[in-house]
Structure 1
Amino acid sequence: MAAEPGSLPDFKMLALFGCGAFLLRGAGCTINDLLDQDIDVKVERTKVRPIASGLLTPFQGISFLGVQLLLGLGILLQLNNYSRILGASSLLLVFSYPLMKRMTFWPQAYLGLTFNWGALLGWSAVRGSLDPFVVLPLYLSGVCWTLVYDTIYAHQDKEDDLKVGVKSTALRFGDLTKEWVTGFGIISICSLALSGYNAHLGWPYFACLAAASGQMTWQIYTVDLSSRADCNRKYVLIPYN
């Protein structure tokens, strides 16, 4: 979106952001596993995670996190100053997200704020500033999109979450989950359309968006929220539209 109309994205920037997303999302997972080890051992799906299962010690986890953050810093330093500050500010979200399930029924919304920070950073890295008419609808779309797929994902753990005492949108929405995620899906698609329109994108963008919205609709209305296997299968498919 940030590339000049009619031009291909800068390959170096694509490579930097690809590596950066891999490293920083990985760092988020490491932080999550470190802070949640006492919870993970009590949940069927997560009890085999490396730290919870004892395969790795917390010190090894912290050491691995240090490597991830150091490599991420190396990537961030190659961007402009505006993007360095914007990127560094995301660490507050990354480090605090694992605590949200203990505090609110909306940790999936907080995850959306965290995971989709790149919607802001990608634009600023290319343009040197933010265009709110493009990046804010894009960011909102990502947050709502995350609420769709991670709420479905959370339905795998709802029984365990009740026993452990942690919160999720799966528990908050309950039997109305499909209505809620349908609403978030609509907001996500509409926000993507608005962002693309404001970025002056052509018809292929909107054709792909229509196809993606159809696929998301099918996923929402066919998911069996009482089946852990089906929730996991839909979770895997939805984020890669």
Structure 2
Amino acid sequence: MIQTRAPLMSKEKIYAYLQLTRFDKPVGIELLLWPTLWGVLLAAMGQAQQQGVTASLPSLKIFVIFALGATFMRAAGCAINDFADRKVDGHVTRTKGRPLADGRLSAQEAIAAFLVLVVLSASLLLLLPVAVFYWSLAAVVLAFIYPFMKRYTHLPQVFLAAAFGWAIPMAYVAVQGAPDVWCWLLFLAYMCWTVAYDTQYAMADREDDLKIGVKSTAILFGRYDVVIISVLQTLFLLMMGAVLWHYFAPTSLGITPIFGLALVAMMFAKQNSACASRQPLACFQAFLANIWVGRYVFALIAVACIWTRFNG
């Protein structure tokens, strides 16, 4: 009789890991991926300006490495987030079906997934200048600690923004050798945007979070939540406008890319109109709409970089 070997992992277990790392719902990956690529593209523009050239595009190698790194680190962040929240996710309507909350995966399996993904990310650093490795250490620390911050501070969204925004200075180190003032302005813009959309996300869970004692900016901001989100989004637009002015005003495009941010302002207005109801589903849908902000700003920057590269 021919014996068939049992599969190493069942389909159910594989799907549980996909849920743990959110590969089944790559919204969060995109929210990290696109800003990382903003940084890669603009760092290449900055390098060109330092060399007295109008514009330059990043190498395909750098582009792919940072795209993969963003994907792996976001997945790692999701795994450690579910480990940190394994005792509270079951009490939240939206998260009670997560694989640690319903017992399909163990805490040890979540930690193992986190470590594997971090190692995969770290292996990419072997292809980059050694300075990027030292900068990456802060990213790993931030990615590990941010899920636990909701126990101690009402500002876990700030730690989340710092953890995932850290890819921007890493991109500048990889391309330019060091971050500059425009890198940090882009980083701060990303921070404002991230705190704004993650507050929308937290607004969807606010009632459950209040019951179980989890802290968030949605709870901290209270009835001023939509107003503060609007302020953060305005700061994002102002800082992004300044960044685009710096890189593209000296080129044939002039300030044209800045006008492209008008569509982002309209996206934000629509999100805040939905959030004004404070209905969980409306707030969650507003959060999801930020995928299009990330995609659009990436397209805006990419087109501007390509145009200036070939048209001066």
- TM-score bin (small chain): over 0.9
Structure 2 match to 1:191: 239
* Superposed CA offset, 1:161-193 (max 9, x none): 111001111111111111111111111111111
Structure of greater relative contact order (alpha carbons < 8 Å, 6+ residues apart): 2
1:179 paired with 2:264, answer no
What amino acid is the match of 1:237?
A
Contact map agreement 1:149 1:239 (CA 8 A) in 2:
no
- 3-state SS of the aligned residue for 1:51? coil
* Number of equivalences: 240
**1:204 to partner: Cα distance:** 4.5
Structure 1: give runs of 5+ residues left out of the alignment: none
Report the more deviating stretch, 205-214 or 28-37. 205-214
TM-score (norm 2): 0.73
1:2 paired with 2:43, answer yes
**1:108 to partner: Cα distance:** 1.0
Structure 2 match to 1:37: 86
- Tell me, in whole angstroms, the C-alpha distance in 2 between the residues paired with 1:100 and 1:63: 21
- Tell me, in whole angstroms, the C-alpha distance in 2 between the residues paired with 1:207 and 1:75: 36
- Tell me, in whole angstroms, the C-alpha distance in 2 between the residues paired with 1:103 and 1:172: 13
TM-score (norm 1): 0.94
What amino acid is the match of 1:79?
L
Note the 1:1-241 alignment, pairs <5 A: 1-3=42-44, 4=48, 5-132=54-181, 134-200=182-248, 202=253, 203-241=255-293
Which structure has the larger Rg?
Answer: 2
**1:199 to partner: Cα distance:** 3.1
- 3-state SS of the aligned residue for 2:263? helix
- 3-state SS of the aligned residue for 1:61? helix
* Superposed CA offset, 1:175-217 (max 9, x none): 1111111111111111111222333454343132222122112
Q: 1:67 to 1:98 in 2, by over 3 A?
A: same
- Tell me, in whole angstroms, the C-alpha distance in 1 between the residues paired with 2:58 and 2:231: 32
* Superposed CA offset, 1:70-126 (max 9, x none): 110111221112211111221111111011111111111111111111121111111
Show structure 1 runs of 4+ deviating over 4 A.
none
Q: Give the root-mean-square deviation of aligned CA atoms.
A: 1.5
- Tell me, in whole angstroms, the C-alpha distance in 2 between the residues paired with 1:218 and 1:62: 38
**1:225 to partner: Cα distance:** 4.3
Contact map agreement 1:155 1:225 (CA 8 A) in 2:
no
- Tell me, in whole angstroms, the C-alpha distance in 2 between the residues paired with 1:122 and 1:2: 7
Q: 1:7 to 1:204 in 2, by over 3 A?
A: farther
